[in-house]
């Protein structure tokens, strides 16, 4: 099945038949490229980029491609709710596109990253510390450009 989501549909996804979520489409429509290294997506080819939750809702473990237990996902969502983050989301998309009442799938909780940075982010090797406006990496792996 081919996914065409409005005018912003990306040709590479259409040609190879990927179905992308509303979350992915909205992040792609908003972000011109990797928001950390400012590399731009060329020709709407998102092969080297991934839509990334800033505060994770619980995710698929990339190494073994198995879904984490529901209790792990619920723990992340409950932390999000306990910190009051849903009240800070002003995104006007339908709740069904925001991950329900938690709003954890809002584009306000997302950034587009290069694939290598997304993997490092998911493995907690890099972080953004908003209180001091710095990017922190536990390694110096990110010197390549696309």
Q: Which residues pair with 134 in a beta bridge?
A: 129
In a domain, 2, yes or no: no
pLDDT at 84: 92
How high is the pLDDT of residue 131?
63
Q: Tell me how many degrees the CA angle 104-106-109 measures, rounded to the nearest 5.
A: 75
Q: Could you say which DSSP state residue 66 is in?
A: B
Q: Which of 9, 7, 24, 29 is nearest to 97 (CA)?
A: 24
- Does residue 146 form part of some domain? no
The pLDDT mean for the chain works out to 75
Give pLDDT tens digits for 44-73.
Answer: 889 899 999 988 886 543 333 345 555 556
| Residue 3 counted as domain residue | no
Q: How far is CA 92 from CA 31, 74, 96, 120, in A?
A: 17, 24, 11, 30
Confirm whether 105 is domain-assigned: yes
Residues of the chain with pLDDT below 70 are 1-18, 58-73, 129-146
pTM for the model stands at 0.70
Which helix (H) or strand (E) segment is 28 a member of? helix 22-30
Number of domains in the chain: 1
Q: Could you list the residue range(s) of the whole structural domain that residue 66 is in?
A: 11-137
């Amino acid at each position: 099945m081919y996914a065409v989501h409005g005018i912003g549909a990306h040709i590479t996804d259409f040609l190879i038949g990927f179905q992308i979520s509303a979350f992915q489409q909205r992040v792609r429509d908003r972000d011109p490229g990797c928001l950390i290294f400012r590399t731009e997506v060329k020709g709407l080819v998102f092969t080297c980029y991934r839509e990334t939750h800033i505060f994770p809702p619980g995710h698929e473990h990339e190494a073994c491609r198995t879904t984490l237990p529901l209790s792990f996902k619920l723990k992340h969502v409950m932390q999000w709710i306990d910190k009051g983050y849903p009240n800070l989301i002003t995104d006007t998309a339908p709740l069904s596109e925001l991950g329900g009442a938690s709003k954890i799938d809002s584009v306000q909780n997302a950034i587009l990253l290069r694939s290598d940075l997304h993997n490092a982010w998911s493995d907690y090797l890099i972080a953004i510390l908003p209180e001091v406006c710095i990017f922190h990496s536990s390694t110096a792996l990110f010197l390549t450009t696309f």
